[in-house]
Amino acid sequence: MKSLRLIAITSLALLGPVRADLTIVQKVDGTGNIQSITMKVKGDKARIEVSPQVTTIIDAKTGAITNLLNDQKIVMTIPGDKAKAMAEMAKSFVKQETPEQATPKPTGKKETINGYETEEYVSDSPKFHASYWVATTYPDYAKILQQMSILQKGAFASITKGMPDYRALPGMPLRTQVKMPDQPEITSTIESVSLAPLPDADFTVPAGYSEMKMPDILGNKPAPVEP
């Protein structure tokens, strides 16, 4: 579940500033259990729905992460400074720095996905292999890709380091396949995209939710200072 969620998020996190509202529904398969994941973007905020029970709201400006446990009507908020500290702590467990990812290159292979002809582009490093099936005729693809950047900011900058830059792709990546060492391959296929306006209420805590205090996994340690 966690690996599916991370790949789904980071696969949408690689471009420039967000300009308008965006809703993307994608199908993610990596453990034999296919999930439908919805991501909504409005301004500097993103909403990720992995299941009806759990919703995550991310504020890229402050770095704060809000988790909603919908079936229990509970909310847990991680302030931006603590979210950054948690990301740095996770990075400290990695023995080897993530290498820069190579620019995606075309393979010449073609496939029709959701009615669009796509061409495969691949990017490799010692720790990461990615395959992108790109539709060059997808409507407004440049605008959509520009809006898919919100998670690259704040605490997520270290998580997305080394991931390929979608700006090098000449179209919309309708299917992304990611393989990491000792992990199952994750396949994410975009099923629908909408640029329709979204209500502000989608990015706020609903009424009637009780707040749950975040566990002190940092041990009251301050966030590491970056060099």
The 10 Å Cβ neighbour count of residue 40 is 21
Task: State the chain's mean pLDDT as an integer.
Answer: 78
Residues 6+ apart with CB under 8 A from 148: 12, 13, 14, 15, 22, 24, 41, 166
Tokens 């292999």 appear where?
A: 129
Predicted TM-score of the model (pTM): 0.74
Residues of the chain predicted below pLDDT 70: 1-19, 87-102, 149-165, 167, 215-227
Instruction: Please write the tens of the pLDDT for every residue from 172-193.
Output: 999 999 888 888 889 999 999 9
Domain boundaries, the chain: 2-211
Handedness of CA 170, 174, 175, 180 (dihedral sign): positive
CA neighbor of 83 nearest in space, from 194, 223, 227, 225 = 223
Q: What is the DSSP letter of 226?
A: P
The pLDDT assigned to 104 comes to: 87
Instruction: Please write the tens of the pLDDT for every residue from 38-58.
Output: 999 998 888 999 888 999 999
Residues belonging to the chain: 227
> Radius of gyration over alpha carbons of the chain, in Å?
18
Q: Residue 60: left if φ>0, alpha if ψ -120 to 50, beta else—which one?
A: alpha
- At the topology level of CATH, where does 2-211 sit? outer membrane lipoprotein receptor (LolB), chain A (2.50.20)
Per DSSP, the three-state class of 223 is coil
